[in-house]
Amino acid sequence: MNRIVEPGNPLAPGARAAAALHELTVQPVILVGDSGTRPWPLSRERNSKQLACPMDDRSLLEATLRWLDDAFDSATHDAARTTLSAAPLVVCRDEPRLPALERVERRYRKPARLLLEPMARNTAPALSVAALAARASAVAGDDPILVVLPTDHPGADHTAFGAALTEALAHASRGAIVAFGLPPQRAAIGYSYIRTDAPLGNRGARTIGRFVEKPDAELAERYFATGEYWWNCGMFVVRASVWLDAIGLCRPLIAAACKDAFAGASIDDAGAVHLARDAFAACPSDSVDHAVMERIGTDARLLGVTVPLGEGWPDVGAPMRVNGGQADKPADDARSPSFDERRFRHALGRFATGVVVISTGSGDSLHAMTANAFMSGSLKPPLIVVSVGHRARMHARLMEAELFGVSVLSEAQESHSRHFAGEAQSRLAPTCAPCFAAVDGLAGVVLLEHAAARFAARVVDRHPCGDHTLFVGEVLVFSLDEHAPLLFFGGRYASVAASASNEDSA
């Protein structure tokens, strides 16, 4: 694993190493579509947010490419270290590409290389296949430095980013994984944070102590008060070999699947690279932050640096208003509200919900829990969403799982709901023990028998949501039985028939 070497350190590169550094190419990588730092289509299945036009007559992707050019133009690169710059590598799904990307290619002043994913697998696999593509197209002895960006920062100050990029490239060339951070202006719960440690030089860079998820309001105040925590901007600079070593260390299944998907890729007449579908389908879904960055500070083989950015960084997914490319301060209601938590919970219980059992694994590894935070997310593609609290054991299971099941309970399965909610066995009828059935063709997921509806899904996305995480699943198999669903209202179980009877008597 490559390690950070500071100028003036006895381990700093000697003449031969310095000579090799001048061959390093800067490879821009634009991640289009998916979660968190890689927002996924919110408009239509075949027209992702990054290909829409929320800013002007150009798409976010085109704006990002042009903004990146301006940033590179303003960056002061040391000719003895890097060679500027390879054609941008755009990683995206096959579906959103079509006419919109082709239009961007015609209007953008440089060719863009396209790396097309057959399905969404989040940012860690996307960056991994980009690193493989960069290495494959590099000249012998080159180890491209990847500048990894989402398509949601084109309104930011490109001059400030150019200055920060110069510093980031210097650290990345020595083997660091560099993350851009933003010193916070307030305590905010809408960002993940980077805990900074030792300063590096006089340009503001610091070693990374650790990455932390989005905090609650109280913890965000503590982070802000220390001055040691920066907002994570979701942009990274890293040598291709360093990233491939890191993902191989932290998530070997992702590394292996991406290697197979790239090795089996095809190239179309336009030069776009299409990853092998079956190999990429076997790749676990995970983010850069969760797969690798959260290991920094706990594994000595992973060394990270954070470089600060200036103010004015709008994010389409952040709680800010954007006017003319400049970010206003968040509205007052973007701060954590102050109210009675018990009354809030009571308010949420004033509408009826269905009751489901979420399940992962099978046999001795089976784990299941009762929940009522379940919803449909999309018809095309078929997506479902479950919300699981961080303290639940199921949360840790779903963070690692590739598949999960959702069984919508029938009105006769109240005892199942109580059982998987942890209620004492003595209160359950012994003849009502839950029974799970395997799903043909899908090892590792089982579903409750006699449920009103059953879904087996593949995890395709994970979204932090306060003290919960939203898990998005692409439905692979479902079944529907003619059973009335079990309801939950006001802290009590109910049935559709009972509810209808109450309405009639009223």
- Evaluate if residue 55 carries a pLDDT over 50: no
CA-CA distance, 284 to 280, in Å (whole number)? 9
Structural domains in the chain, sorted by start = 22-329 (3.90.550.10), 343-505 (2.30.110.10)
- Evaluate if residue 479 carries a pLDDT over 70: yes
- Evaluate if residue 58 carries a pLDDT over 60: no
Q: Which of 189-198, 422-431, 476-485 has the lowest mean pLDDT?
A: 422-431
CA-CA distance, 70 to 55, in Å (whole number)? 17
Percent of the chain topping pLDDT 90 = 28
- Evaluate if residue 11 carries a pLDDT over 60: no
- Evaluate if residue 330 carries a pLDDT over 50: no
Q: Model confidence over 309-327: pLDDT tens digits?
A: 865 554 433 433 223 333 3
Q: Rank 24-38, 57-71, 142-156, 488-502 by mean pLDDT and report only the highest.
A: 142-156
- Evaluate if residue 153 carries a pLDDT over 90: no
- Evaluate if residue 208 carries a pLDDT over 70: yes
- Evaluate if residue 44 carries a pLDDT over 50: no
Q: Which of 111-125, 175-189, 475-489 has the lowest mean pLDDT?
A: 475-489
Dihedral angle, C-alpha 120, 125, 131, 133, nearest 10 °: -40
* Pairing label, strands 177-182, 436-439: unpaired
Q: Model confidence over 361-386: pLDDT tens digits?
A: 877 788 899 987 788 887 778 888 99
CA-CA distance, 304 to 302, in Å (whole number)? 7
CA-CA distance, 49 to 39, in Å (whole number)? 7
User: Helices then strands (H, E): number in the chain?
Assistant: 14, 26
Token look-up 């998907």 returns 261
Helices (H), 138-239: 158-173, 217-226
Neighbouring C-beta atoms of residue 380, cutoff 10 Å: 8
The token duo for 12 is 């700093």
CA-CA distance, 161 to 72, in Å (whole number)? 9
Sheet holding 353-354, edge to edge: 353-354, 486-489, 492-495
**139 vs 2, more confident:** 139
CA-CA distance, 431 to 422, in Å (whole number)? 18
- The pLDDT assigned to 156 comes to 60
- Evaluate if residue 28 carries a pLDDT over 80: yes
Q: Model confidence over 85-108: pLDDT tens digits?
A: 778 898 988 764 444 455 555 555
Q: Which of 392, 444, 398 is nearest to 420 (CA)?
A: 392
> Residue 192 burial by CB count (10 A; 0-12/13-18/19+): exposed, middle or buried?
buried
* Contact between 235 and 153 (Cβ < 8 Å): yes
402 — alpha (psi -120 to 50), left (phi > 0) or beta?
alpha
Position 351 confidence tier, pLDDT thresholds 50, 70, 90: low
Four-residue CA torsion sign, 212, 214, 215, 220: positive
Q: Model confidence over 221-236: pLDDT tens digits?
A: 999 999 999 988 889 9
For 148, list phi and psi in degrees, rounded to 5. -105, 120
Q: Model confidence over 432-459: pLDDT tens digits?
A: 678 888 888 788 888 998 888 899 998 9
**334 vs 469, more confident:** 469
- Evaluate if residue 10 carries a pLDDT over 60: no
Mean pLDDT in residue range 477-495: 78
Q: Which of 442, 434, 447 is nearest to 480 (CA)?
A: 447
Q: Rank 73-82, 268-277, 484-493 by mean pLDDT and report only the highest.
A: 268-277
Round the average pLDDT of the chain to a whole number and report it. Answer: 75
